[in-house]
Amino acid sequence: MAERSLLDDILGEGEVSGIVALPDRRVAQVQESVMAGLWRVRFTDASGARVADYVEVAKRLDGVPGVAGIELNISCPNVGKGGLQFAIDAGAAAEVTAAVRRATDLPLLVKLSPNVADVRPIAKAIAAVAQP
């Protein structure tokens, strides 16, 4: 949550924003940043879970000279699901990893959580979708 707060502080909020309800029951929130040319797009699914913050950052880094890969830290709490960490649920971990994979061809290093009894099913779910 501290990481999301820092990101919110850095990006700030410009004067323009909008919210769009999509036919598939997802909601898109578009917010102008205080940085020129940078817009933040967040998608939430029907349960309120956000995955697009990861995707938008991945899209911004794809093709930037000097960026060799992306560390996807999925062990941070997902505010939209009451603090659930993506990294402790194999389905959620695979879903967010697949969303980032669709957004970039950069190598992905997915940071898992030590707060699980057995990390192997989660790692296997991620490995199934992480390769380009």
Catalytic residue numbers read: 76
Cβ burial, residue 96 (10 Å; 0-12/13-18/19+): buried
Cα–Cα nearest to 114, from 77, 88, 83, 79: 88
State how far the Cα of 76 lies from the Cα of 54, in Å rounded to an integer.
12
Specify the 3-state DSSP secondary structure of 114.
Answer: coil
CA distances from 62 to 11, 72, 85, 108, 129 (A): 19, 14, 25, 11, 18
Number of Cβ within a 10 Å radius of residue 59: 15
